[in-house]
Structures are given as C-alpha cells and as structure tokens.
Structure 1
Amino acid sequence: MDTQRQNEAGAQHATESELPPTELPVEKKPVVEYIQQLGQTSVPTAGESNLYCLTIIGQIEGHIVLPPQNKTTKYEHLIPQLVAAEQNPHIEGILIILNTVGGDVEAGLAIAEMIASLSKPTVTVVIGGGHSIGVPIAVASTYSFIAESATMTIHPIRMNGLVIGVPQTFEYIEKMQERVVRFVTSHSRITDVHFKELMFKTGDLNRDIGTAVGGKDAVEYGLMDGIGGIGQALTYLNNLIASRRELKSAGGLTQ
C-alpha cells in the first residue's frame, strides 16, 4: 500500500516537473495579452500603483484601418481603457503620454472629449511631438506639459481620397475645423484669434503645411501649461491627487 502511494506521488511529481518552464500562471495571462494587443499593461488592482499610464503614439487610427507598417494607436482600444480607469476605485490619477503625428479627426476629438470628461485628475505630457489632432488631446487634461524639445504642428483640416460635392465637403470641413478650434481654445489659455492665426499661417518652417510650435512657444502662447517631462508630470499629478483627497475628506467631493 505504501509503495503504491509512493508511486502515485512520484508520478504526480513527474507530471508537474514536465510542465514547460515558460508556462505562466492563469492570473498572469490577461496582463500578457494586454501587452501584446494594446502595448501596455492592464489597469492596476488593489495594492499596486494608484496611477494609470495611457500612451498615444504614432498615427491615431479611426474608422479606416491603416497599413500594417504604420505605427498606430487605435481609438477603439483607448476608449475602454479610459472607461476602466474611470470606474476603478484604486485609480486616483491618469498620466497620458503623447508622441503622435495626428490622424483621424473624429477619433482624435473622441479621445480628447473622453479625457476632458474624466472625473479623476489627468496630466498629459507631449514628448517628441503632438501634431495635428494630437493638439486637442494634449490640452484635454487637467494640466499639460510639453518637453522643451517637442513640437506641435497646427494646421487646417485636410481630406484625402475622392471628394463628391465640393461645396458640401468644404462646409463639412469648415464645421469640423471650428469644432477643433473651439475645443482647443476652451481647454487652454490660447485665444481663438491667435490659434487660427497659427493654423492658417504659411511660409514658415513647414511651408504650407501649417505652423510648427516648439515647447517654449507652446507655453508662451498659452497652448500648453508648462515645460516638463515625466518627473514633473508625476509630481504635479500626485499633488492633484493629494488635493482631491483633502477635498473629499472635507466633504466637498462626493465621488
């Protein structure tokens, strides 16, 4: 009887030892899937960081799938992440890092509107570039930083492909452009007149593409709030979280 038990225990031990060393525990697999599919980890759980980092890089992909060689950020991936971060009680602040050339206008505005409507403190950091429709996303947060070496290109909205009905298309583009201008000016300190002046200015570095605004100029114009990188952004975000905690403990905040 003892020999039989020893043989069973030995067989069980042999079966466990035969498992491949790369096999991950069940609870770790979803995190790996997030990294593979979205390029970032899942929303932290209890005991982990109280901050959530959202990255927006490459070209913002909208309703049309871009070629596979393009580095893209799909807005259908970002929206559920923002919803999850908003609902998670352990997340107290959201850090958004941008290095984007722009992309789909409606997708970019959708992301910007979602960031602006979050109840939790948000801070954006523009590194490298926050061009085109990346500008509304950059200014949508509670506070915005831009690296000194980063740039933001401001230009009119453009369309590519077949255009049917030129007057109607022009009217549509003009209204879409007004949406962008209204959003940017309402979430930053830049004036409507100054932003349109930069948008339609030609003959500078980018010729007829638009105006390239450097980090210091973006702050001077009131487009961005301050010069800084990850360290400054995290410090400011933690200060916003601390202020929110004090307000909540004083009974001035219900959520």
Structure 2
Amino acid sequence: MVLTNLFPKLGSPQPVPTVVPPPGPRVQPPPGPGNPGAQPRPAPETAAGNLQELGQMNLPAQPESSIHCLTIVGQIEGHLVLPPQNKTTKYEHIIPQLVAVEQNPKIAGLLLILNTVGGDVEAGLAIAEMISTLGKPTVSLVLGGGHSIGVPIAVSADYSFIAETATMTVHPIRLNGLVIGVPQTYEYLDKMQDRVVRFVTEHARISEAKFRELMFRTGELARDIGTVLVGKEAVDVGLVDAVGGIESALAKLNEMTAKATGEKEPVQ
C-alpha cells in the first residue's frame, strides 16, 4: 500500500505580521554629560520601612521641630512574642529611640502618647525607667487608655495629661501561663508589685496607701479587683497631673523646653 499526502506540499512563505508594542511611559535617561536637561531621580522612600518596623514615619514636608513624639499603643511586647494579629509596641524598638533622643542635640523634649492595655511588666518598667531618667523635658498624654503597666509609663514623664474620656485601670500584677504553687512564687509576685507601687508613688502625687487601695478595691471590675479611673478621676487621686489634649500637652512641653534651654520663646 502506498501512503500519499504524508507531508504537505510546501508553498510560498506567508508574511509574518509585525507586532507593534502599545505605547508606554517614556523612560527618561539619567542625568549626565549627554543629557544635561534631565531631572534627577528622587531618593528611594524609606518611610514605609520605618512605619512597618517602628510604627512611625516622617510626614511629607514636615517642618523642623525639636520635639520628638513617641507612641506606645496596643500591648507592650516583652520577652514573649505576641500573635501577629495583636497590635503591639516592642520594647526593643522603644529603648533605642529613647537613647537616640537623649543623644541627639537637636531634640529638646519628648512627647509621649499612650493608648495601651498594658503587657509585659518588666518591659513596661524598663521603658518607664528610661523615660524617667532622660535629661530632657518629657510630657505624657493618655488617649483612650493607659492601663496596667501603662500607668507607670504615663507617670514616668515630668508632666502628665489625660484626655477627658480616657481611662486608666489600676489592678494587682497577674501572671499568665504556668505558675508554680510554692511560697517563692508569691514572694516574687509581691516584690514585683512593690517595684511598680514604689515607681508610681515616686513619680506621681499619689500616696502608697491610696494606690494600693485602688489596686485591691473590689466591686468595680466584674469578677476581679482593681479600679477604673476616667479622665478627671485620675487627676483627683493624684495619679495624673492634668486633664487635657494634644494642644495642652504641646504647650506645656514647649514651656518646659524653653525654660530648660534658656530661650524666651517656646521651642517650635
């Protein structure tokens, strides 16, 4: 049997259509001797990285200021890494910033903004100790809430404000996780609680007896002990210096920095 048409007959070649790419943005060559009219390329943006890592960024066209703003929001993360869905403030990010504030001669004062539920006790105390030992004027402002270990951080500043609707929760120290039921564990808790009480009473106008009474008060928190202070209540007991917002906090900090630097006008 003869197989035919096994290969097709070759005819004349067909023209290949020319593909024209769609018009796109014109790429400008970099500036140089051959292209003197080219505009220099902008520097790579680094604000996104600062926002992701430190929770802060430099605003566009930000005026020069000698006031550094430090925010402590969410839960204070210490020795244990919290779940990714938690809004956290990492103390290993805060402490280097405080060192930089102390060393930078262009920074005259620190504004501390708090809206925290508390967190790691030792990490919170470390932040509070760093703020209280700064050689520059510091002012804190509690917005929303400054609960638990956020209380020592709020009072660690030279002057403290609280918003009219903000709250502060004072309660005994708690431990999460495994607790060994031996006398040494309770002694350690007592010593840690004494550290918090001593720090707060040394940096606020509240007495130790009053602060402990607020910590162990029953009936205000459901199935728990402690006290919730709202706005002016925190001022009345001597925990915070005044009720106010951002305008009051900045005005007070400008007044303090002007006095510290010997200037007649507030530092802008």
Q: How does 1:1-255 map to 2 (within 5 A)?
A: 14-16=28-30, 24-26=42-44, 28-29=45-46, 31-41=47-57, 48-246=64-262
Aligned length: 228
Could you say what secondary structure the match of 2:135 adopts?
Answer: coil
User: Which secondary structure does the structure 1 equivalent of 2:110 belong to?
Assistant: strand
Shift of 1:35: 1.6
Q: Secondary structure at the match of 1:56?
A: strand
Contact 2:215 2:225 in 1 (8 A): no
* Aligned residue type for 1:170: Y
Larger Rg: 2
1:204 deviation in Å?
A: 1.1
Residue 205 to residue 88, structure 1, CA distance change in 2 (3 Å) = same
C-alpha distance 111-206 of structure 1, shift in aligned 2 (>3 A) = farther
Deviations 1:61-103 (A, max 9, x none): 0000000011100000000001011110000010000000000
Deviant stretches of 4+, over 6 Å: none
1:208 deviation in Å? 1.1
Moved more, 159-168 or 196-205: 159-168
Query: Structure 2: how far apart are the matches of 1:14 and 1:154?
Result: 61
Paired residues of 1:130 and 1:151 also in contact (CA < 8 A): yes
- Residue type of the alignment partner of 2:236: E
Higher helix proportion = 1
In 1: Cα distance, 2:166 partner to 2:192 partner: 26
Take 1:207 and 1:122, find their aligned partners in 2: how far apart are those partners? 37
Kindly state the Cα deviation for residue 107 of structure 1 after the two structures are TM-superposed: 0.2
Letter in 2 for 1:202: T
Equivalence for 2:18: none
Offset of residue 16 of structure 1: 3.3
Give distance in 2, aligned partners of 1:209 and 1:74.
28
User: Shift in Å at residue 198 of structure 1?
Assistant: 0.2
Q: Are 2:214 and 2:227, in contact at CA under 8 Å, matched by a contact in 1? A: yes
Helix, strand or coil at the partner of 2:229: strand
Deviations 1:164-215 (A, max 9, x none): 2421111101000000000000000000000000000111144414110111
d(CA) in 2 for partners of 1:14, 1:124: 49
CA distance in 2, matches of 1:145, 1:86: 22
Deviation at 1:37? Answer: 1.1
SS at match of 1:198: helix
TM-score (norm 2): 0.80
Secondary structure at the counterpart of residue 176 of structure 2: coil
| Code of the aligned partner of 2:43 | P
Query: Mind listing any 5+ residue stretches in structure 2 that lack a counterpart?
Result: 1-26, 32-40, 264-268
TM-score by length of 1: 0.84
Q: What secondary structure, in the 3-state scheme, does the structure 1 residue paired with 2:164 have? A: coil
Does the Cα contact within 8 Å between 1:139 and 1:187 map onto a contact in 2?
A: yes
Measure, in 1, the Cα distance between the counterparts of 2:156 and 2:178.
Answer: 32
Percent of aligned positions that are identical: 65
How far apart are the structure 1 equivalents of 2:236 and 2:28? 68
